[in-house]
């Protein structure tokens, strides 16, 4: 599967999953997606999420790996991530905390999580 880096193209199966989750959550505010982990491990969901992250041109995380490095070897990255998720051995890295200066002189935190963001909710 080739990933579209210039634009995010959501596959029909991923879009259908997004809509189903959205509708269930809106229908019942107390509903919880207990079986979501299986959908998270799907290759099409991971590829769509990776395309969204790379398309956003984010900065490097705490490990120093940039989106350009991930983009260069996206197949190996997705293979490793999918394998870790399926074996339940994936451990996300700590959140990189950066402080952004506001107009009034104060600062606010900006958090950046390493890895693929979940692209399940529209």
Q: Calculate the alpha carbon distances from 114 to 66, 67, 118 in Å.
A: 10, 10, 12
Q: Calculate the alpha carbon distances from 99 to 1, 57, 104, 114 in Å.
A: 37, 19, 14, 17
pLDDT confidence band for 117 (50 / 70 / 90)? very low
pLDDT tens-digit profile of 4-58? 555 556 678 888 888 888 888 888 888 787 777 888 888 888 888 888 888 777 6
**Could you tell me which residue, 8 or 120, shows the higher pLDDT?**
8
- The secondary structure of 17-79 as a DSSP string is HHHHHHHHHHH-TT---TTHHHHHT-HHHHHHHHHHHHHTTPPP-TT---HHHHHHTHHHHHH
| Listed residue (1, 3, 15) closest to 55, CA to CA | 3
User: Half-sphere exposure of 91 toward its Cβ, with a 13 Å CA cutoff?
Assistant: 2
pTM for the model stands at 0.63
């Amino acid at each position: 599967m080739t990933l579209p880096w210039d634009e995010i193209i959501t596959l029909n199966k991923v879009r259908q999953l997004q809509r189903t989750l959205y509708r269930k959550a809106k229908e019942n505010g107390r509903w919880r997606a207990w079986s979501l982990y299986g959908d998270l491990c799907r290759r099409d969901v991971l590829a769509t999420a990776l395309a969204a992250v790379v398309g956003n041109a984010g900065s490097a995380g705490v490990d120093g790996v940039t989106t350009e490095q991930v983009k260069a070897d996206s197949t190996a990255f997705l293979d490793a991530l999918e394998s870790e998720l399926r074996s339940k051995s994936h451990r996300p890295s700590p959140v990189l905390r950066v402080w952004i200066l506001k107009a009034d002189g104060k600062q606010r935190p900006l958090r950046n999580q390493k890895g693929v963001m979940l692209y399940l909710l529209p």
